[in-house]
Amino acid sequence: MSHDHTLEIKENRFIFALALTALIFLAEFIGGFWTGSLALLSDSAHVFMDAFALGLSYLAIRAAALPPNDRHTYGYHRMQVLAALTNGASLLLIAVEILRQAWDRLQHPEPVLAGPMLVIAVIGLAVNLIVAFTLREHDHDDLNTRSAFLHVLGDALASVGVIAVGVILLFVNWPWLDPLVSVLIGLLILVSSGRVLKESVHILAEGSPDGMTATAVAAAMRQVAGVDEVHDLHVWTVSPGYVALSAHVVLRDQALSQTTQIMAALKAALHDGFDIRHTTVQFECGNCGQGSIACSQ
């Protein structure tokens, strides 16, 4: 399957998921006011953020597909990171507001129409599962899609909580249960926002991927025959799944014709060991004294 066709399928899946998510947001938002359920309103806020996240992710995918130019030599891959940062910040604000309203409702409980609330929550859960299934096929090889998938899956879990409240309220009059579940939903959103913000800031700060260190990469490069030293090494994440590297490599005395083989061996070691595909390597006869990260005898 061609890259363009794969991208088109992914975009179509995002559009379909976004349309379904927008519909369930409207249903839960209106239903929350109708039934007086803060839990349902809280879940609708989470669903809204799902739609917002899906929309930004779709735009980021479109932007990342644009070719590099004179002013953006890496292209627009970082748009995916900026979208994630925006999602995370919005999630944080939503979570704080949900927790504030839940605290007010715990102090002043209000009656809830359990029956309609339960019906709307069941419909919301069904749509969330459909959306999650729509995104699931591509989540294994695309971190952006996987993040959206986990976002929707988390909302499905929140819908399960609202359903549980609806069932219980059909039999007992516990008005405090509705805001209590809202607190749990707010905490769920808070944790999600923290993870998204942490990863986004790490990438924007030119951090290396999780589980990868410059020392380990330099040691692997030095195992290549003909390499005497590695210094001025930099490994950073351009966007999720797109890792870049630059390094100075000191070679032992050898014929100039052998440098081509060494370069190929270095690229293979970086690709196979760390999945680094974009590399810039400068060969030297001696240490130029630039850079602090080194691996030598």
Element (H, E) at 230: strand 227-239
Q: How many C-beta atoms surround the C-beta of residue 49 within 10 A?
A: 25
Q: The domain 3-204: what is its CATH number?
A: 1.20.1510.10
Residue 167, CA distances (Å) to 43, 112, 161 in order? 16, 12, 10
Q: Is 286 helix (H, G, I), strand (E, B) or coil?
A: coil
Distance CA 78, CA 240 (A): 9
**CATH 3.30.70.1350 spans which residues of the chain?**
214-295
pLDDT at 295: 47
Sign of CA dihedral 243, 249, 252, 257: positive
Distance CA 90, CA 75 (A): 26
pLDDT at 297: 42
pLDDT at 1: 46
The superfamily in CATH containing domain 214-295 is Cation efflux protein, cytoplasmic domain (3.30.70.1350)
Low-confidence stretches of the chain (pLDDT < 70) are 1-10, 39, 43, 46, 110, 112, 135-148, 150-151, 154, 288-297
Instruction: Name the amino acid, one letter, at 198.
Output: K
- The tens digit of pLDDT for each residue in 45-82 reads 767 877 877 787 778 778 877 888 888 887 887 887 88
pLDDT at 267: 93
pLDDT at 10: 66
Task: Check: pTM over 0.75? Answer yes or no.
Answer: no
**CATH 1.20.1510.10 spans which residues of the chain?**
3-204
Distance CA 259, CA 283 (A): 8
- Residue 88, Cα to own-chain centre: how many angstroms? 9
pLDDT at 4: 55
